[in-house]
A and B are shown apart, each in its own frame.
Chain A
Amino acid sequence: MSTTTLAMPIRVDAARASTRPGIGRLVAVELRKMVDTRAGFWLLAAVVVTTVVAVVARALVGDAADHDFASMMLVALQPAAVMLPIVGILLVTSEWSQRTGQITFTLTPLRSRVLVAKLLASVVLGVASLLLSLAVAAPATALAGAGLDGAWSYSPALLGQAAVYLVTGMITGVAIGAALLASAPAIVVYFTAPFALTAIVSLSFFAGVAPWVDTVRATGPMVEEVLSATQWAHAGTALALWMVLPLLIGAYRITRRELSA
């Protein structure tokens, strides 16, 4: 072997190889992964389309008194509230079901960083969809609610609560996806478990417990009224049960579980 043939010795870019990708870059990558697959793209496209359709429908029909901004926002938030958690679930479970985790976790061996990036990306997407709701609800109010008294009365607290509602919904999706690490079971559990729980706690025996654990009842009011301290407590405990607990289980599983061949 002659050294003259070694035209281009392998040379690692030492600076780049020794620089850990920043969390900002990992968040950007996770956001990209939400939209660059067929399922992710159509889910988010569906959020945009159904938000527009629902708000337009609300503007065209119904009582003129309901054409104020608050009602429009209530309608505009629903598509994202239903579909973002699915995006959150798939963001985690696809790493296992599509086995992309082999790539994700060899490029970022500290798996906790990947999970943090997914959570931060969820916050970004939640806030982005709040902006979408605003962008659709505002012109609709301007057109349909023109001349209506108090059409634009909307508490800033309500806006903050809407952000919390969307973001916690999406993070609950990530958490349940992480706890189960399989797409179909996670989606089924996400949508049916609250109903199953509602059925159970509706028994009079649990009447006192229900408001504290039923997420539908505990978080639903966030988009409708400014919450009282008790309501915040209800929301907090329900989210601890449905979001924080699965997230802890999921964090344990993601960092420990081996990726099958």
Chain B
Amino acid sequence: MIESHGLTKQLGGRTVVSDVSFRCEPGTVTGFLGPNGAGKTTTMRMLVGLAEPDGGHVRILGGRYRDLPNPGRRVGILLDASAQHAGRRGREALAVSAQTMGVAQERVDELLELVGLDATAARRRVGRYSLGMRQRLGFAHALLGDPELLILDEPANGLDPEGMRWMRSLLRDFADRGGTVLLSSHLLAEVEAVADRMMIISGGRIRAQGTRAELLTESGTVVEAGDLAGLDGALRRAGLAVHIAGGDRRLVEARPEDVARAAMAGGVVLRRLAPAEGAGLEHLFFELTAGGAGACVTHPELAGATA
């Protein structure tokens, strides 16, 4: 359980996190979405006491993180997989933490096997690990203390598609067993497949949050018609916001039935009328995080929408 109330953080005179409030409940996976530099990492660092908020407060498992007697046994954290001593062997990096939190050394080998680091890899120094291997080691580290809450910053970074699928099933299973997961990403597709709830952050502020269905309701309707000019006119008359979404397709910020009503009033024949679904979510993400760098369009329904 994470409860964040109005978290605010200033760095160098700039507000990087502003009034961020959310809850993560047991049994759920919460996706924390936003472009790079949106404030995800800073927010997560405040959750676990690595950074001090300038305003607001956060409760982890009902209290302050720093008051947890043995936090590694309750909260699994992966903030930066590269934050490991380059001169330490992979297995040793886990063993040091296991010793700190009083976890049996056999558990270290179990986890190395679980994340797919074999004996050769475990003996190698972390400085020679690939990004994917560091990420796997970071996962093993987060799971080491058998926690009930996972806080993962960009966990899919550097994972191949197979690793990504593995991670999703692991997180799904973790949440289905009653665990709480908060994971961040700058890529919608990574989060969409596993998250029950999503928060979209941009410029340090939460722009939208809710379940996938709740976000989709906000995200609109895809509509197509032969008579595009007529459609545009009808939608405009009904006072609906319209976006051009590739070819003769429009994305309307309204529910399908409102769009149908507007089209009927204008006498326009529709070829297609559907909730925006993925395209809508993707569009919502872009709209809310406008100007975010590094994002790329992968969804076919959106091809051309941002061109």
Question: Residues of A with Cβ closer than 8 Å to B?
Answer: 1, 5-10, 12-13, 16-21, 25-26, 28-29, 32-33, 36-40, 94, 98-110, 258-259, 261
Q: Are A9 and B99 in contact (CB under 8 A)?
A: no
Q: Which residues of B contact A38 (CB under 8 A)?
A: 87-88, 125
Q: B72: CB under 8 A from chain A?
A: yes
Residue in contact with A109 in the complex, picked from B66, B87, B89, B97, CB distance below 8 Å: B66
Q: Which residues of B contact A19 (CB under 8 A)?
A: 69-70, 102
Q: Are B71 and A109 in contact (CB under 8 A)?
A: yes
Show 25 A/B contacts (Cβ-Cβ < 8 Å), sorted by A: A6-B176, A7-B177, A10-B148, A12-B73, A12-B147, A16-B70, A17-B68, A32-B96, A33-B96, A36-B92, A36-B96, A38-B87, A39-B87, A94-B85, A100-B83, A102-B80, A102-B83, A103-B141, A106-B48, A106-B79, A107-B97, A108-B100, A109-B66, A258-B50, A261-B45
Please report the C-alpha to C-alpha distance between residue A25 and residue B70 in the assembled complex, in whole angstroms: 12
Chain A residue with the shortest CB-CB distance to B138 = A103
Chain A residue with the shortest CB-CB distance to B70 = A17
Q: Are B45 and A17 in contact (CB under 8 A)?
A: no
CB distance from B278 to the nearest CB of A (A): 23
Tell me whether A261 and B100 are in contact in the complex, defined as CB-CB below 8 angstroms, given that A37-B85, A98-B85, A105-B49 are known contacts.
Answer: no
Q: Are A103 and B97 in contact (CB under 8 A)?
A: yes
For chain B, residues 89 to 121, give those with C-beta under 8 angstroms from any C-beta of chain A.
89, 92, 96-97, 99-102
Q: B74: CB under 8 A from chain A?
A: yes
Q: Which residues of A contact B177 (CB under 8 A)?
A: 6-10
Q: Which residues of A contact B69 (CB under 8 A)?
A: 17-20
Interface size class of B (residues with CB under 8 A): 35 or more
Tell me whether A1 and B176 are in contact in the complex, defined as CB-CB below 8 angstroms, given that A28-B99, A258-B50 are known contacts.
Answer: yes
Please report the C-alpha to C-alpha distance between residue A106 and residue B89 in the assembled complex, in whole angstroms: 21
Tell me whether A100 and B174 are in contact in the complex, defined as CB-CB below 8 angstroms, given that A10-B148, A21-B101, A258-B45 are known contacts.
Answer: no
CB distance from A185 to the nearest CB of B (A): 19
Chain A residue with the shortest CB-CB distance to B69 = A20
Residue in contact with B50 in the complex, picked from A36, A94, A105, CB distance below 8 Å: A105
Q: Are B82 and A99 in contact (CB under 8 A)?
A: yes
Tell me whether A10 and B48 are in contact in the complex, defined as CB-CB below 8 angstroms, given that A20-B70, A106-B77 are known contacts.
Answer: no
Tell me whether A259 and B72 are in contact in the complex, defined as CB-CB below 8 angstroms, given that A26-B100, A38-B87, A102-B50 are known contacts.
Answer: no
CB distance from B291 to the nearest CB of A (A): 21
Contact with A along B34-72 (1 / 0, CB 8 A): 000000011001001111100000000000011011111
For chain B, residues 129 to 149, give those with C-beta under 8 angstroms from any C-beta of chain A.
141, 146-148
CB distance from A48 to the nearest CB of B (A): 19
Q: B84: CB under 8 A from chain A?
A: yes
Chain B residue with the shortest CB-CB distance to A17 = B73
Residue in contact with A259 in the complex, picked from B45, B74, B82, CB distance below 8 Å: B45
Q: Are B49 and A37 in contact (CB under 8 A)?
A: no
Q: Which residues of A contact B66 (CB under 8 A)?
A: 109-110
Please report the C-alpha to C-alpha distance between residue A158 and residue B95 in the assembled complex, in whole angstroms: 39
